[in-house]
Structure 1
Amino acid sequence: MKTISSVVEEYIKKKPFLQSALAQSIINLTSLSRIIKPEIESELGKDIRNGAIVMALKRLSDDLEFRATHKIVKVLKNIGEITVRSSLTDFTFLLSDSILDNQTKLIREVNKNKDVFYTSSRGVNELNIVVNNTLDNTVEELFKHERCTQKAENLSSITVKLPAENVSVPGIYYFIFQRLAWEGIVLFEVISTTNEFTILVNDEQVDVAFKTIKDLKAL
């Protein structure tokens, strides 16, 4: 049997930004109840008092705040080193029978200069390569027979070291990326390992992105 609380919770779960705002107690619950009242009544098939919806929202916001405060925020406070690199280029190629051989040749070139940035990830249909723009000509020459579907220039990367417990607490990445979305940050790439992740953003947005992530440590 559906209850007001269960229907309200299901509604809020489908609105990630609304859910975050509730957890931070920055929404007027009475005003929100009036806005969502028609949908809640439609789902339950009966008239509902605003006060009942407000109470359901209050219980939900308290629960969300508890979960954020005692789990996610605890991990975010222990974020480690944040490393920023600039002057990067992001290449995307379609997979082919020869692409790994060309990537091997590129790695040999990268190994000649330990100071250059290089990272790569492979999907089902695409291979992604991110390098310092000083290697743009090298990549284009080595992969000239491959099909490049995207080349994005003037990018910066932000690499974040996460505490080991990040793998056991749900919502860490959601919380971080939600904050970035709130600031209007466009993510060109997200590359992760077990205890760190790297985002690729436009050079013009790197300062805001860095501050947004850094401020998570002060929650």
Structure 2
Amino acid sequence: MKTIASCVQDIIVASPFLEEGLSREIINFSALAKELNGPISKMLRKPIKDGAIMMALRRYQQPLNLENSKSLKKTFNELGDITVRSNLSDFTFQNSKTLIHSHSQILEKISENHQTFYAFTRGMFESNIIISTSEKETVIKAFKNENQIGLQEKLSAISIYLPKGNSKIVGLYYQIFKRLAWENITLYEVVSTTNEFTIVVEDYLVDKAFSAIKRLID
């Protein structure tokens, strides 16, 4: 049976910004109770008093897993170098039977230059290539017979080296994404390997994004 408390919990869990604000004690309970009155009354199918909602908000406690909380803190303390690469371009191509052949030409070309940034992601219907803009003409030539459906330039990548065992830590990526969202930073692309996590943003956001990630470590 639904209660005011369970409705409050459902709304908070589905709203990361709201949960963050409550945990930092920067939200006015009275104002929030009034804001939630409509949705909760609708969920319970009866009118609810603001005071009852405010009481449920004050009693709400975030789920706390002490063991995971310690592991998460330890992981952030052990994060490796943060590397920033700028002057990148993102190409999007429609998948085809010849796409891999075109892709192999790029790999052969850039294997001679270890300074080139390169990331390839294949989805169900399209594939993305993020590469140093200096290799733009190389990509255009190699994929001249493919259907290009997108190109974004003036991008930067921020790569974070993660400690071993990071894939077992609940909420690691969530904490990173939450911090970036809280700072109003839009992610253009996300690329990851087992122990490396890279976000791609437009150039004008790179300094802000770097500072936000740095604060997770400090």
Query: Partner amino acid for 2:107?
Result: I
Q: Quick one: distance in 2 between partners of 1:25 and 1:64?
A: 16
- State the one-letter code of the partner of 1:89: S
Q: Is the 8 A contact 1:95 1:127 kept in 2?
A: yes
Alpha-carbon offset, residue 86 of structure 1: 0.8
1:7 corresponds to which residue? Answer: 7
Shift, 1:80, TM fit: 2.0
Q: SS where residue 135 of structure 2 aligns?
A: helix
Letter in 2 for 1:63: Q
- C-alpha RMSD over aligned residues: 2.1
Which residue is equivalent to 1:55?
55
The superposition leaves residues 30-87 of structure 1 with CA deviations (integer Å, 9 ceiling, x where unpaired) of 2211221232223223343433322322232x32577796564453343221110011
* Aligned 8 A contact 1:22 1:64 in 2: no
Q: TM-score, normalised by structure 1?
A: 0.89
- 50-59 vs 118-127, greater mean Cα deviation: 50-59
Paired position in structure 2 for 1:144: 144
CA distance in 2 between partners of 1:187 and 1:177 (Å): 9
Match of 1:85 in 2: 85
Stretches of structure 2 lacking an aligned partner (at least 5 in a row): none
Where do 1:194-213 residues align within 5 Å? 194-213=194-213
1:73-152, aligned counterparts within 5 Å?
73-152=73-152
User: Cα offset for 1:163?
Assistant: 3.0
Q: How far apart are the structure 2 equivalents of 1:198 and 1:24?
A: 28
Say whether 1:161 aligns with 2:149.
no
Q: What letter corresponds to residue 149 of structure 2 in structure 1?
A: T
- Structure 1 spans left out of the alignment, 5+ residues: none
Is the 1:7–1:40 Cα contact (8 Å) retained in structure 2? yes
Instruction: Render the CA deviation track for 1:143-171: whole Å, top value 9, x for unaligned.
Output: 01111111111111001122334322333
Mapped partners of 1:215, 1:181: distance in 2: 14
Q: Identity over aligned residues, as a percent?
A: 41
Name the count of aligned residue pairs.
217
Decide whether aligned partners of structure 1 residues 66 and 47 sit closer, same or farther in structure 2, where only a CA change above 3 A counts.
farther
Q: 1:79 touches 1:217 (CA, 8 Å); kept in 2?
A: yes
Q: Which AA in structure 2 matches 1:145? A: N
Tell me the CA shift for residue 182 of structure 1: 2.6
TM-score of the superposed pair, with normalisation by structure 2? 0.89
1:120–1:130 contact (8 Å) kept in structure 2: yes
| Distance in 2 between residues matched to 1:42 and 1:133, nearest whole Å | 53
For residues 102-124 of structure 1, give each alpha carbon's deviation from its aligned partner in whole angstroms, at most 9, with x where no partner exists: 11111010111111111111111
The letter for the 1-side match of 2:34 is: R
Query: Are residue 40 (structure 1) and residue 72 (structure 2) matched?
Result: no
Q: CA deviation at 1:92?
A: 0.8
Cα deviations across residues 200-219 of structure 1 (Å, max 9, x unaligned)?
A: 1111110001001111113x
Q: Distance in 2 between matches of 1:169 and 1:92?
A: 32
- C-alpha separation between the residues in 2 aligned to 1:28 and 1:47? 22
